Amino acid sequence: MSNKGFTLVEIMFVSALLIVISAGMMKTYIAGQRSYKAGLSELDVQRVSKLAIEKMGRRLRNAKSITLLSANGNSIEFAWDDPLIWTPTNNADDITSGFYYVDADNNPATIADNSIFYDSDVDDGGNALQTLVSNISPTNNQDIFSTVTITPNRVRMRFTVFDSYAEDGYQGIDINSVVELRNYTNPYP
């Protein structure tokens, strides 16, 4: 009599082994998916942060004067020449723009309501207000905008942009940049 099949014990052993291997492969796949999503989310935060800091830098670089609006340095207005009507002796062509940090619920810990807005023309009553970056907070409770005390023609920008969708709590990117104002005229010569 020849045995041409597998015993029940052999089939059960192989089945259990396949279940353990499949579970390990599934766990590895799920961890890879989480890592991929976290990487995409971090890239998005970096992209938004980069665009915001570049836009703020470009606008501030061409400013003739700056005004920190709040005692905590979280809003700034600046004047610049409108190139379409600029004349060397006329200040009436100046346009005042601003960056404003808004904490909608007045609680820096809830970052979902915190944003930096850009107003391209303050005098139009906020009609051109646009959101530059959301989910932010001041870095280490420091001012978002401040002048560099050594040279008044420099503005320091410090803030943290958070990824509110991160599964491991809030993860963020610290932004710290100094912009030199090219057209700055010192009001206190």
pLDDT tens sequence across 105-160: 777 667 777 888 888 877 776 677 888 888 887 777 777 887 765 566 788 888 88
The answer, yes or no, to whether residue 31 has pLDDT greater than 90, is yes
Its pTM stands at 0.69
- What is the distance between the alpha carbons of residues 59 and 116, in angstroms, rounded to a whole number? 14
How many domains, the chain? 1
Give the structural domain span for 162: 11-180
| Residue 59: inside a domain | yes
| Residue 122: inside a domain | yes
Q: What single letter denotes the amino acid at residue 70?
A: S
| Residue 144: inside a domain | yes
- What is the distance between the alpha carbons of residues 137 and 133, in angstroms, rounded to a whole number? 11
| Residue 5: inside a domain | no
| Residue 189: inside a domain | no
How much of the chain exceeds pLDDT 70, in percent?
77
| Residue 73: inside a domain | yes
Closest by CA position to 99, among listed 112, 116, 113:
116
